[in-house]
Amino acid sequence: MFCNATILFVPGMALASLILLRHRKINNIYTGGIIMIFGVLKDIKEGENRVMCTPVEVASIIGSGHTVLTQKDCGKASGFPDEAYKKVGAEIVESAEEMYIRCEMIVKVKEFEESEFELIRENQIILGCIHPASNPKEVDAIL
């Protein structure tokens, strides 16, 4: 289990939450804002075909000076092949495990699954859907 993760409860796309991060210090790096490693996970919940960031949004994040890693096939079910993410400058990463190790911020559409609880590390920023009333185990793991 982990503690001290930053949890963002922000409706809308991940880009909106980046506004909240502009005054935050991550890995002691400041360059007119923060430069961070931002990760877009492939959702693993059965029936979930959405992706948190399209290639257009990834291009915007990269254009702000951040590094973006996308998990292999994260946008495939939504019609966005890995090549589209590569074209705008994202690095494609094979596994969720590597994403959690390398990224300071992780985003996904749905809630975090039990298999992901141990992967989230202290002080990592996570953005996803949380259903506290129906999934207290997830809330306990995150807090």
Nearest alpha carbon to residue 107 among 80, 79, 116, 23: 116
Q: Strand runs (DSSP E) across the chain, as ranges? A: 6-7, 37-40, 67-71, 91-93, 105-107, 125-127
Is 66 known to be catalytic?
Answer: no
Q: Distances in Å between the alpha carbon of 139 and those of 115, 117, 135?
A: 14, 10, 7
Round to whole Å and give the CA distance between 125 and 134: 22
Residue 82, token pair as written in the block? 């890995």
Phi, psi of 4 (to 5 degrees): 65, 25
In the set 45, 131, 136, 140, the catalytic residue is 131
| Enzyme catalytic residues | 131
